[in-house]
Structure 1
Amino acid sequence: MLCSYKLWVQASYPPHLKLLNQNSNIPIPKTKTQFQRKSLDGRFDDIDDDADGSGLRKFALPSHVKSITSTSNPFVKHCLKLKNSSSYRHSHASALVVGTTPIREIYRYKESSQEKTVIDCLLLLENAEIPEELDTHSCHVVRIGSMVMKKLSGVQSAESIEAIALMRFPTSFLNLIVDQNKSDSQSWFPSTHRILVLDGIQDPGNLGTLIRSAMAFQWDGIFLLPGCCDPFNEKALRASRGASFQLPIVSGSWYHLQTLKDTFNMKMLAGHPDIDGKLKKPFSLSQEFVHSVAHVPSCLVLGSEGRGLSEKSQLKCELVSIPMTGKFESLNVSVAGGIFLYMLQPKN
């Protein structure tokens, strides 16, 4: 991995944080070192480390805390960093899920799949009822004021959001560029009949919508190529309605994708507009084409909103276009992706 390191040291914290560190169970180091790494995918590039190099200290909320009303509370600041910083999220392997509906949906899915949902902390608006079906015995429930809810949720009316969950990343998420020991491609996805591959999708709304559509049409997982945004980004989570916690997601390079293709003998398809002058003439997304690949393990690659498919994707894949009348050249990637995912969904 090519890395560039940027070192900075913060000598001290304000007096009130030092005092808090002396009288609570919340570990706040007096000095810290940050290594800035430029990874191959250019996304998860900041790794915080404490001064002795033992790794970033986990932020634990004391069990006796049952209510938070101040927006300057250290735990609130920790949650804001989880919300706003991809590197911070991934170093803590945690994310904020905003809203009762996605929290309940994630919990219900995990219960049905017999996989334990790990909610480290459930933040509830004052006087709000605990969401039905949630087992609050296994998580820390904290009541928060309306100002705290507004700050964490990012909405003006706190009354519209009653719950926020601090959840650990699911075990179905894997970053192969960071965790290079996970070399066994047969363990990346429970099933490999249909995998959606996203090539440089940078808009979190589009990425979240595509993840939710893939789940709705029973695809087996998501593979993120370099340049994609974080699937646990606040906007991506909102668009996916929690599907990022339910569908297996693997982040890796074309080398890893090639390994997956070779292991399962998968057909590589890529959505691409039917434009004259291209090296390869795209197939048309017809019923005949769908039938021809119905029983073949396949990857569907969708390109970014601006530049479309990368050159490598165009060379490695069979191009497929959505037939359209008139002079339309292309559709929004989430709209086009929905059509592809529906047409090519696994057949029972």
Structure 2
Amino acid sequence: MITSLQNEKVKEWVKLQKRKGRRESGKFLIEGFHLVEEAYHSNWEIAEIIVEEGLDYSGWHHQFFTITVSRKVLQHITRTETPQGIAAVIKMKEPKEIEGHSVLLIDSIQDPGNLGTIIRTADAAGFDMVMLGDGTVDLYNDKVIRATQGSLFHLPVLQADLLKKIPKLQSGGYTVAASALTDAVSFKEMPANEKTALIIGNEGAGVRNELIDAADQSIKIPIYGQAESLNVSVAAGILMYYING
């Protein structure tokens, strides 16, 4: 059992708290029974399972290399005050090709909670794929992972240069629609198409102008009250459900 925070294995896990460490290793850390179960049932590769001393667990977990640690170590590596007693190191996997009939493109979303909620909503709305553009918070940030509630493991998420992907989507038969506040039509006026790609943008600045220019059309959600705008995750949910409705 590992009890020391200076243990080399613990230092290796701590590196997964940073984007650089995750990218260099090709792995990321998740915590809690729900997320570990979702990773397993979605056939993501589990490198190792970490369990707290005294945890009573059974089932499929025993198929994997398992390390027992003290509560102090688990709190240290997960940055969670009250961890559930189980964590896992997961190997990243990233799709190479565009797939499905509905694709969400995310431009520079910076809040981890927003990104995780949007991915969870894309999963619920039946979207087939998500693309993360430059300037977007890291997919494997612990707050993003928790906010997805496991949806991270259900649909392919691709890191991409959106300006390069838009022409490929268009040549593949997708109508590309950008969410915008000006020079845009109501989303209800968007013509139906079998294949649609939706671009949503940064919390404050919105979708970059060059992406709006590259899109086939700009759409907006009408504001009927006095609110200046909608939260980006709420707006994304309305548009995705309309597209797949």
2:123 corresponds to 1:215: yes
TM-score normalised to structure 1 length? 0.66
Answer with 100-109 or 195-204: which moved more. Answer: 100-109
Consecutive unaligned residues in structure 1, runs of 5 or more: 1-66, 111-116, 175-186
Determine the C-alpha separation between the residues in 2 that align with 1:131 and 1:167: 19
SS for the counterpart of 1:192 is coil
2:200 corresponds to 1:302: yes
Determine the C-alpha separation between the residues in 1 that align with 2:207 and 2:138: 19
Letter in 1 for 2:202: S
- 1:230 Cα shift? 1.0
Q: Pick the aligned partner of 1:206 from 100, 111, 114.
A: 114
1:327 corresponds to: 226
2:42 and 2:153 in contact (8 A); partners too: no
2:56 corresponds to 1:129: yes
Kindly provide the CA deviation profile for residues 194-251 of structure 1, in whole angstroms up to 9, marking residues without a partner as x: 0000011111111111111111111111111111111011111111123223321111
Determine the C-alpha separation between the residues in 1 that align with 2:153 and 2:58: 18
Determine the C-alpha separation between the residues in 1 that align with 2:213 and 2:164: 17
Kindly provide the CA deviation profile for residues 303-332 of structure 1, in whole angstroms up to 9, marking residues without a partner as x: 001211101122123121112312223111
SS for the counterpart of 2:110 is coil
Q: Pick the aligned partner of 1:151 from 59, 71, 76.
A: 76
2:239 corresponds to 1:336: no
1:119 and 1:165 in contact (8 A); partners too: yes
RCO (CA 8 Å, sep 6+): is it higher in 1 or 2?
A: 2
1:106 and 1:243 in contact (8 A); partners too: no
TM-score normalised to structure 2 length? 0.92
- 1:259 Cα shift? 3.9
SS for the counterpart of 1:165 is strand
- 1:100 Cα shift? 0.7
Say how many residue pairs are matched: 244
SS for the counterpart of 2:42 is helix
Compute the RMSD of aligned alpha carbons.
1.8
2:19 corresponds to 1:86: yes
Kindly provide the CA deviation profile for residues 86-143 of structure 1, in whole angstroms up to 9, marking residues without a partner as x: 1210111100011111111221233xxxxxx3111100111213364x3532x21111
2:97 corresponds to: 188
Determine the C-alpha separation between the residues in 1 that align with 2:129 and 2:11: 33
**How do 1:229-308 and structure 2 match up within 5 A?**
229-273=137-181, 278=182, 280=183, 282-286=184-188, 289=189, 292-293=191-192, 295-308=193-206
Q: Pick the aligned partner of 2:86 from 152, 156, 163.
A: 163
Mark the structure with the bigger radius of gyration: 1
Q: Structure 1's 259 and 222: CA in aligned 2 closer, same or farther, altered over 3 A? A: same
Q: Structure 1's 131 and 239: CA in aligned 2 closer, same or farther, altered over 3 A? A: farther
2:26 corresponds to 1:99: no
Q: Structure 1's 157 and 258: CA in aligned 2 closer, same or farther, altered over 3 A? A: closer
Determine the C-alpha separation between the residues in 2 that align with 1:251 and 1:69: 37
- 1:255 Cα shift? 4.2
Kindly provide the CA deviation profile for residues 41-62 of structure 1, in whole angstroms up to 9, marking residues without a partner as x: xxxxxxxxxxxxxxxxxxxxxx
Determine the C-alpha separation between the residues in 2 that align with 1:154 and 1:131: 25
Percent identity among equivalent residues? 27
Stretches of 4+ moved more than 6 A in 1?
none
Determine the C-alpha separation between the residues in 2 that align with 1:209 and 1:255: 24
Determine the C-alpha separation between the residues in 2 that align with 1:255 and 1:340: 21
1:270 and 1:300 in contact (8 A); partners too: yes
